[in-house]
Structure 1
């Protein structure tokens, strides 16, 4: 019985097979390009930013040791303060640069120009990357109400604590608000039906990029609803949300609870002991 000859590989290759092979090769190439881009964004930019951050920190320390006055004329892209978040570990510290353009944020967190300065009434607002370029705000979503955020300037340590989250407001005074670390953290609300000027201000929120009012002196109010002397001293941190996307913004609001003038030899470690975070 005759057996049919199987077609040779060369005979089986038609125009369709060539198209499939070409498309497959293009997809593999595209995949490699995307992978290399991800590696660059996640790791290579971190290395570049780490060096820039180290240089900025060394420059700031030198300015402070020389007694150079850094206020009130801040310089775009130049570091003028340091940021610590004790809950993120003892090695978490970044300089804060003036401005939020790409160059400033490649070094570390950047101060929104025109917003309040550390410790002042109003809203000291700071932006930072969440992925790549040092990713200083990668874990911002892990912050809980009353967690400490410390800002160091040439003359002072300012301790801010995250405001109550929206689901904690109603029972704050009888719930978490009774914990020791929350002693100076309130809801900022008045007895009015709308809660007053700070009725929309909570410890964490997700907003669209267009909602710039979150960094207003009184968050969510672009108009002056309170004179400066009556404004609460706030710190607002902003970053992209969710991770690997800039579709929205993650916002953390914190309130000033302590100010410690820097005495000779004062250290961040001593501050942590003073505020019960050591």
Structure 2
């Protein structure tokens, strides 16, 4: 085989591999976002239809389950009695973080399975309901599938995290800058989350995402406490503008 043929074959192979890499990157950066946009809009439409007909998703009893952005089958170190949970895999709330922009809004679905997190944010089954005593814990992708938590490191103490279930606005306030930990640190979703600084029962919210930005070796955690509630009939909370 001539040197020219070897060089040409190698060059063609490099071009092919390069093209495949470009296609893969395009899928990660673009196509997953397109899929997430369509899926998310569908979940929001489902919620709006439910709420327009006065049908708020009713909780139903289920056992304590696993969480997917933490290790498989996590068990809080000091479990409370299993709370009632929302319908598995279904949207039940909308979550807003003004720090991330005025158009930032994502549906919250029940469970943190891979397919669920491709449609929006996921509620850790077995953690508290929105606004309830305990720890309302929510996971989301840092990158891909719409990049919901791309700006997670920008969260600061006092930032609002606003949740609505169609009847009530729940305004939580971030208590500290995001905390970096390892996936095995499942105490972050305890009823009184470990290392959060909270020293007793309360109405808390935990947000989790992957760290680093394009990896998953660690987790970023943000904790908040319930600051205010109001009926949706009173209009949007002032926290949207704070």
Same fold (TM over 0.5): yes
State how far apart, in whole Å, the 2-side matches of 1:49 and 1:72 are. 26
Instruction: Give the CA deviation at 1:83.
Output: 0.4
Instruction: Give the CA deviation at 1:65.
Output: 1.5
What secondary structure sits across from 1:107 in the alignment? Answer: coil
TM normalised by structure 1 equals 0.72
Matches within 5 A, 1:1-278: 13-14=2-3, 18-19=5-6, 21-73=8-60, 74-165=86-177, 204-220=178-194, 231-263=201-233, 266-268=234-236, 271-272=237-238, 275=239, 277=241
State how far apart, in whole Å, the 2-side matches of 1:208 and 1:63 are. 38
Q: Which has the higher strand share?
A: 2
* Structure 1: 5+ residue stretches without partners: 1-9, 166-203
Greater Cα radius of gyration, structure 1 or 2: 1
Instruction: Give the CA deviation at 1:103.
Output: 1.4
What secondary structure sits across from 1:160 in the alignment? Answer: strand
Asked if 1 retains the 8 angstrom alpha-carbon contact of 2:206 and 2:224, the reply is yes
**Hey, which bits of structure 1, 4+ residues long, moved more than 4 A?**
17-21
Map of 2:82 onto structure 1: none
State how far apart, in whole Å, the 1-side matches of 2:10 and 2:205 are. 52
What secondary structure sits across from 1:123 in the alignment? Answer: strand
What secondary structure sits across from 1:41 in the alignment? Answer: helix
Deviations along 1:127-172, whole A, 9 cap, x unmatched?
A: 111111111111111111111110111221111111134xxxxxxx
Asked if 1 retains the 8 angstrom alpha-carbon contact of 2:211 and 2:220, the reply is yes
State how far apart, in whole Å, the 1-side matches of 2:226 and 2:151 are. 21
Given the superposition, is the C-alpha separation of residues 32 and 257 from structure 1 closer, same or farther in structure 2, using an over 3 Å criterion? same
Q: CA RMSD in A?
A: 2.2
State how far apart, in whole Å, the 2-side matches of 1:58 and 1:209 are. 33
Asked if 1 retains the 8 angstrom alpha-carbon contact of 2:174 and 2:222, the reply is yes
Total equivalences in the alignment = 215
State how far apart, in whole Å, the 1-side matches of 2:136 and 2:89 are. 17
Instruction: Give the CA deviation at 1:22.
Output: 3.8
State how far apart, in whole Å, the 1-side matches of 2:6 and 2:55 are. 67
Asked if 1 retains the 8 angstrom alpha-carbon contact of 2:176 and 2:222, the reply is no
Given the superposition, is the C-alpha separation of residues 57 and 37 from structure 1 closer, same or farther in structure 2, using an over 3 Å criterion? same
